[in-house]
Each structure stands twice: as structure tokens, then as C-alpha cells.
Amino acid sequence: MEATGTIPGKKRISDRIGYRIFICFLTLILLILITLFGAMGMISYGPSPSARDLFVVSVMETSAAKFLARVYFGADKVQDILAANAVVEVEEISDGEMIVVPAVIPSTEEDLVVEDILGSTFRAKMMIIRDPSRLLVGVAHERYSSDLKGKTVNEIVARYGAAAGVNAGGFVDENGKGDGSLPLGIVISQGEMKWGSNGTTYEIIGFDQDNKLVIGKMTGKEAMDRGIRDAVSFGPMLIVNGEAMEVKGAGSGLNPRTAIGQRADGAILLLTIDGRQPNSLGGTLGDVMDIMLRYEAVNAANLDGGSSTVMILDGALINVCCSLYGPRAMPNAIVVR
């Protein structure tokens, strides 16, 4: 009879090779982690306070990586760094007096255009929509519930038969694992308050019945009484009534960004900045403000960013989403019909 089975010597050689490969892989991972934490330690305790601050504010703007700042600094120190690198908040509300929306906007090939922007640390896209009446806040579902997962921006855009869109307000996103079911702040869509309450004060970013961008803090009742037709909550405000906000220190970290603005002629500016990529680290809120000023925005505000930042045009994603799993599910989006 012929002997069957694995030759013992060959099996031992195979086991040793597998063991060595495993040890090499484990060693590589450990070296990468040691190098990474060493580099972050050098940034945190090195000779450059500005590099330290940029690192702290960048990771503190994420949902899942906040712990990195707390590895090196106590909670009080982190808060001090955040306070020293921020956009100064104001109580002013945009009044729309600088904006004149034409009664009739003739249709041309330039009704909606997208321009590429290259910054020192980022790549970005600016979408310009001449007619502000085309924009609204699209919602993932007619009602919000923890049992109803959100939709991607592309799905929300398709739900409204729209041509384009970007992500909008924030949502519950504990440790970066949110499913987009529940928004943060107020949501008003086509004159109906979908989420929020009359007595709570929110950072409003939306449109009134005259198709003017309204930004500022107000209660849900004040927003409805003012005739806000579509709105979400996020921030901070960046330009109010033609005046740029004061930026302290770095202003914020290098991260993906989404923002909205309006020119004096009524045209809407939708900006996305790619981030957390080898060729595009991201932008600061100061960068966003500078771009909006360059494009002549008289009012502008920051929307949700990070792994939520996406821009959709004609059913396609036209920026680079930094999420490892692709575009995320969200409760709402700014859509362009």
C-alpha cells in the first residue's frame, strides 16, 4: 500500500515559514505604530506650538480620532488649545440687505458650473448655482426615527429628482459609527419643521421665502416666524453681511470641509474641500473663509465636514470622499433641483 498524508519535514518547514511571515507582519505593524505615535509626540512636544495646535484641533474635529489629542494632553489643555484656535462667534444674524435676487434669471449654460480649486494643503471644488430658488434641504425620509437609517447624499438627490447636492447638517455620530438616522439641531424642509422644537435656539443655515441665505442663531419659532423655508444646523458662521469673522490662531484643523455661501447677485456657492488624502490633507475654516471671499460671498457658513463631505453632480460623486467605506448615510442634504 502507498503511504498518504503530509510529509512531516515539509509540514514543519511550512509552519516555520508561516510563523516567520506572521512575526514579520506583526513587527511591521508595531514599527508603524511606534513611528506614528513618535511623530505625533514630536509634534505635540516639539518646538512648534502652531504645529501642536494644528494637530490637536484637527483630530478634535473628527468623530473617531479625538482620543489621539488626549493621549498627549489633559482635557483642560485640549480645551485651551481649542479656545485659542477658533472662529470668534457673534450674535449677528444675516439680514439679506446686501443681496438682490433677480425677479427673472434667464437660463444659460452657466446656470450651474463647477470649478476646481488648488490650495497649499488641499484640492477643492466650488459649485456655483445662479438661481437660489433651485436649492432646498432634502431629507432622507419624511420623518426621522432611530429605526430609519439615513441615506447617502446621492440617494437623497435622486429622491428629489435633483441635479446636484452636497451634505448639509450634522447628525448623531458617536465614535464615527452613526447611521445618519437622527440629525443634530433643526431641520426645515420646504416650510415644514422636520426636526427640532420651537423653544430651542439653533445655529440656523438656510433660505427664506425670498431665496436669500439666512445664517445666525435663533429659536425654532423665530425661524418659522421669519419664513425660513429650508434650513439645517451646523456652523460656525464665516461671513455675515459682508464682514468676515475673526479667526484666532489656526482657526481650526486641516480636514475635509463643506460650506455654503451667497453672492450679492443671489448666486449660491457650494464648496467642498477634500481631506485626509496624500495629495489633499484638508483645509482650515480660515481657508474656507478666504475662498468664499475670493468668490465674493456676502454671507457664508460652515456645514458638516470630515467623512461626510461629498459633492454630487448628475448622479456621480465628483469629489474624493475620505470615508474608508464610501459615502456615508446622512439625514439630510442640500439639493439643487
Query: What average pLDDT does range 158-162 have in this prediction?
Result: 98
Q: Distance between CA 86 and CA 252 in Å, rounded?
A: 6
Residue 273's SS3 state is strand
Residue 244 phi/psi, 5° resolution?
-75, 145
CA-to-CA separations, 48 to 42, 43, 144, in angstroms, rounded: 9, 7, 46
- Give the three-state DSSP class for 15: helix
Average pLDDT, stretch 219-239?
Answer: 97
pLDDT of residue 10: 58
Q: Provide mean pLDDT across the span 239-266.
A: 95
Alpha-carbon distances, residue 275 vs 153, 270, 283, 325 (angstroms):
18, 16, 7, 15
Which cell is 133 given?
Answer: 430658488
* Residue 17: all three cell numbers together: 515559514
Q: Which residues contact 91 (CB under 8 A, 6 or more apart)?
A: 216, 217
Q: How confident is the prediction for the chain on average, in pLDDT? A: 89
Query: By C-alpha distance, which of 225, 224, 228 is closest to 215?
Result: 228
Across 138-174, b (16+ Cβ under 10 Å) vs e yields bbbbeebeeebebbbbbbbbbebebbbbbbbbbbebe
Q: Is the Cβ–Cβ distance between 123 and 274 less than 8 Å?
A: yes
By the 8 A CB rule, do 129 and 336 touch? yes
- Map residue 116 onto helix, strand or coil: strand
Band of the pLDDT at 102, cuts 50, 70, 90? very high
pLDDT, tens digit, 9 for 90 and up, residues 43-52: 555 557 888 8
Q: Which of 317, 332, 335 is nearest to 172 (CA)?
A: 332
What are the domain boundaries of the chain?
8-84, 112-336
**In sequence order, what DSSP letters do the residues of 209-227 get, joined into one string?**
TTS-EEEEEEEHHHHHHTT
Task: Look up the pTM and report it.
Answer: 0.86
Tens of pLDDT, residue by residue over 175-201, are 888 999 999 999 999 999 999 999 999
Q: Is 125 helix (H, G, I), strand (E, B) or coil?
A: strand
